[in-house]
Chain A
Amino acid sequence: MNIQLKEKGILFTDLYEHFEILLRKLPGCEEMKGERARKRLYPDGYLLEEDEEKVKEWRDLVHTDLEQRFQEAQDVVARDIAAMRTNGEGKTELFIPFKHVDAWLNCLNQARISIAAEYNLDEDDLNTIDPSWMDLHRRSAILRVHVYGHMQEALLMSIGEA
């Protein structure tokens, strides 16, 4: 895979087949609907539930707003993915306009956080060098968290934040 900075955005070329499959699964990925993931995506603002009314107010107002923001980011990413094309050499290309980078960072983070929450992945799991002892689903989850993370890094570098 190659990454090129263009005038109005970032062009990812020669996408690996597996990477393309993971990208297509990104917006609204299954894990985002899971109970553990939703608890992490929509946390409470008050750690100590000393003010029940405040906690309820937070859940009613802030969570609704967050849900809308997350959906908007997913929609932007879904449109960019739908516009992916195959070049003359049969390789897939993805173009991300600079104005869409924030939506991508957000969507990638939604997915990474949801996958980690649903599979209960901790720092040791994510840093493990040899995950061969784990079952296939768990290994696949770790791989996805890392692949989406590499893409986040590439996007952060492209906007001078890494």
Chain B
Amino acid sequence: MNTKTDEVAENQSKVLLDRVWNVVVHNDPVNLMSYVTMVFKRVFGYSEEKARALMLEVHNRGRSVVWSGEREKAEVYVQHLHSYLLMATLERAENPSN
């Protein structure tokens, strides 16, 4: 049974989650693996290891959430990824309780 405090905490986390947006990169058959890795390093400042792991996730699973955070910042990242011709979109982060 939820207490009042639990309900408040749950509502607060829902509000916070509504403010979280994911930057999603989708697989495409054209972009080179080495190029995608380079772009992740440049755009997000990721290490070679992390950038490569994300690139492989995009390649193997068809998509990867490469960054999460405020909507405005996510928009800038997606725009930046588009300038490198990567397929990227913004998605509202899903509420894990749904």
User: Among residues 69 to 85 in chain B, which have CB atoms less than 8 Å away from a CB atom of chain A?
Assistant: 75, 78-79, 82-85
A153 beta carbon closer than 8 Å to chain B? yes
A136 to B34, CA, bound (A): 30
User: Do residues A109 and B87 form an inter-chain contact, with CB atoms below 8 A?
Assistant: no
**Which residues does chain B contribute within 8 Å of A156, judged by CB atoms?**
32, 34-35, 38
Most A CB contacts (10 A, CB to CB) among B29, B30, B88, B91 go to B30
B31 beta carbon closer than 8 Å to chain A? yes
A137 to B32, CA, bound (A): 23
Contact with B along A64-104 (1 / 0, CB 8 A): 01100100000000000000000000000000000000000
A162 to B55, CA, bound (A): 13
User: Among residues 31 to 88 in chain A, which have CB atoms less than 8 Å away from a CB atom of chain B?
Assistant: 40-48, 62, 65-66, 69
User: Do residues A45 and B91 form an inter-chain contact, with CB atoms below 8 A?
Assistant: no
Task: Give the A-B pair count, Cβ closer than 8 A.
Answer: 70
A63 to chain B, nearest CB (A): 9
A23 beta carbon closer than 8 Å to chain B? no
Instruction: List the B residue with the shortest CB-CB distance to A41.
Output: B85
B16 to chain A, nearest CB (A): 20
User: Do residues A106 and B29 form an inter-chain contact, with CB atoms below 8 A?
Assistant: no
Cross-interface CB contact of B29 among A43, A69, A126, A153, cutoff 8 Å: A126
Interface residues on B, range: 20 to 34
**Which residues does chain A contribute within 8 Å of B28, judged by CB atoms?**
113
B89 beta carbon closer than 8 Å to chain A? yes
User: Do residues A66 and B30 form an inter-chain contact, with CB atoms below 8 A?
Assistant: no
Most B CB contacts (10 A, CB to CB) among A43, A62, A112 go to A43
**Which residues does chain B contribute within 8 Å of A122, judged by CB atoms?**
29
B64 beta carbon closer than 8 Å to chain A? no
Contact status of A106 and B85, CB under 8 A, knowing A45-B79, A45-B90, A161-B37: yes
A-B contact pairs, 12 of them (CB 8 A): A41-B85, A42-B82, A45-B75, A45-B89, A45-B90, A47-B24, A66-B79, A66-B82, A109-B35, A113-B28, A122-B29, A161-B37
Supply 4 further A-B pairs (C-beta < 8 A) apart from A45-B88, A47-B89, A113-B30: A48-B91, A69-B83, A121-B30, A126-B30
